[in-house]
Amino acid sequence: MNKFLLKLYITGDTPRAERAINNLRQVCERELHNQYELIIIDVLEHPHLAEEEKIMVTPTLVRELPPPRRRIIGDLTDTAKVLLGLNIRTYPVSESGKD
């Protein structure tokens, strides 16, 4: 099984960034079972990385590997949507698309 390489872009040491990191770690531990590598990038410390990646907003999570590259934005609290967005597992979407 290919390891997932995930990059999480955050802005500074804020409660929102901390929440995103914790949420993502929980999702990864539960769903990817150590088959992942998570890199956290603070765009204030590494603005050039955000510029290269054309990151518009944070938190932004990028699935670098395995291809195809996927990118999701938001608060990362909804595990199902995170996995769907990363194309890791396909979850049925309701008619409204909100769940």
Partner 1 sequence: MNNEPLKILLVEVTPGEASLQREALPQSGTVQFEIVRVAQFKEALQYLAQGDITVFLLGLLPSESLKPMQPLKKQLVAVPMTLLIDPEIDLQTVERAVHDLQIYFDKEQIEWNLLTHLTHCAIDCRQLQSEIRQYSQQWQISEARFRNVIARNADGILIVDHDGIVRFMNPAAETILNSRNQDLLGELFGFPVIAGETTELDIVRQPGPDQMAEMRVVDIEWEGVQAYLISLRDITEQKKIERALRESEAFSRAILNSIMVYIAVVNEEGLIITTNEVKAHYFPQKAACFLKNLARGGNYFTLCRQAGATQLLNGMLEVLRGEADSFEAEFPCPTPDEEFWFLIRVKPFEGNLQRSIVVSHIDITKDKRAAQAEAESRAKVAWIDQREREIRSLLELAHPPQAAVTASIFGLVPIRESVPSTFEEIVQRYNELIDLALEQRAFKIDHRVSEHLRAMANQLGFLKAGPRDLIDIHSTVLERKGGSTHPLKAQAYVEEGRLMVLELMGYLVSYYRSFSIGVRRTLTPEALPAKPSNRPGEGGRS
Could you list the residues that contact partner 1 (CB under 8 A)?
9-12, 14, 16, 43, 50, 54-60, 69-78, 81-82, 84-85, 96-98
Which residue type occupies 81? K
Q: Residue 79 Cβ, how far from partner 1 at the closest point, in Å?
A: 10
Q: Residue 22 Cβ, how far from partner 1 at the closest point, in Å?
A: 14
Nearer to partner 1 by C-beta: 37 or 70? 70
Closest CA to 61 of 28, 98, 86, 87: 86
Q: What is the CA angle 63-65-70, rounded to 5? A: 30
Nearer to partner 1 by C-beta: 19 or 37? 19
Phi-psi region of 83 (alpha: psi -120 to 50; beta: other; left: phi over 0): alpha
Q: Residue 1 Cβ, how far from partner 1 at the closest point, in Å?
A: 23
